[in-house]
């Protein structure tokens, strides 16, 4: 009888514990399902302008909304001489070897996004030909609002590579997104611990949004470089990127 009482009490405790944990597990499950739904690339009708999977080689279209970061972050690293949209926009990421880069292009104008790109290795780089009349020209996304970004991730570390739209210019364009207005007393590009004289100045400092930095590498050698950015409150970001003078 005494043993039965102990077992009964133990059962009641487990039952009470499960009843308290059940709502927690349900909330976690629903949160995960919501996250998966929000990040999914759905199928749809090709004529839709919504963000959907297209031609089994990309996700492209207009998002209902875009997530707003509380921090400041790199949103574009590119080089281009684009002055208008060709019928087919050539997107190229050089220098990754056979490592396939993660490529995305977004525009805050009308929440345009392109990602999950199935680029093809050709001419010492990964190339993707994008028909611009599907979304870009049809929805009238300004060509100078495009924010291309590409990286290869190894050992949980991202290395960024320039995205070249059509033909490169003689400079790289870095775009940082910030939710709040910031000053940047320290902006540096370095290689192997040596700061490269570059006179990096932000092209514009809006109250919030995109801050653009242009860098002309000139005769700097090929290799891995570091971009370091620190705001007036001591908060910073840094990232590694690749450069080769043959790309420009």
Render pLDDT for 120-178 as a digit per residue (tens, 0 to 9). 999 889 999 999 999 999 999 999 999 999 999 988 999 999 999 999 999 999 999 98
Residue with tokens 């302008």: 49
- Read off the pLDDT band of 206 (50, 70, 90): low
**Percent of the residues in the chain that have a pLDDT greater than 70, as a whole number:** 81
Mean pLDDT for the chain? Answer: 85
Residues 25, 110, single domain; the answer is no
Residues 10, 131, single domain; the answer is no
Tell me what the mean pLDDT of segment 13-33 comes to.
45
> Which pLDDT value is given to residue 62?
97
> Which pLDDT value is given to residue 85?
98
Q: What is the residue range of 36's domain?
A: 1-40
Residues 87, 180, single domain; the answer is yes
From residue 203, alpha-carbon distances to 38, 67, 174, 210, 214 in Å are 33, 24, 10, 10, 8
> Which pLDDT value is given to residue 33?
37
Q: What is the DSSP string of 73-114?
A: EEEEEEEE--SS--SEEEEEEES-TTPPPEEEEEETGGGEEE
Residue 47 lies in a domain: no
Residue 195 lies in a domain: yes
- Read off the pLDDT band of 197 (50, 70, 90): confident
Residues 169, 59, single domain; the answer is yes
> Which pLDDT value is given to residue 29?
41
- Dihedral (C-alpha) 167, 211, 118, 96: value to the nearest 10 degrees? 70
- Read off the pLDDT band of 205 (50, 70, 90): low
Residues 117, 11, single domain; the answer is no
């Amino acid at each position: 009888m005494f043993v039965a009482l102990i077992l009964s009490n133990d059962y009641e405790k487990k039952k009470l514990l499960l009843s308290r944990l059940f709502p927690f597990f349900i909330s976690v499950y629903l949160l995960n399902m919501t996250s998966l739904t929000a990040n999914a690339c759905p199928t749809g009708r090709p004529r839709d302008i919504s963000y959907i999977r297209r031609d089994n080689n990309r996700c492209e279209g207009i998002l209902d909304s875009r997530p707003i970061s509380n921090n400041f972050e790199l949103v574009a690293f590119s080089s281009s001489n684009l002055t208008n949209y060709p019928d087919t926009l050539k997107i190229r990421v050089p220098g990754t070897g056979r490592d396939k880069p993660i490529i995305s292009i977004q525009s805050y104008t009308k929440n345009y996004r392109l990602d999950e790109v199935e680029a093809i290795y050709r001419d010492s780089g990964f190339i993707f030909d994008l028909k611009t009349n599907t979304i870009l020209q049809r929805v009238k996304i300004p060509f100078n609002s495009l924010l291309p970004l590409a990286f290869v991730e190894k050992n949980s570390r991202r290395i960024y590579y320039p995205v070249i739209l059509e033909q490169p210019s003689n400079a790289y364009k870095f775009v940082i997104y910030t939710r709040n207005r910031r000053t940047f007393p320290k902006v540096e590009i370095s290689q192997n611990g040596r700061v490269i004289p570059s006179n990096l100045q932000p092209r514009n400092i809006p109250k919030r949004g995109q801050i653009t930095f242009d860098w002309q590498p000139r005769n700097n050698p090929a290799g891995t470089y570091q971009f370091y950015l620190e705001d007036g409150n001591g908060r910073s970001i840094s990232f590694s990127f690749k450069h080769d003078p043959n790309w420009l």
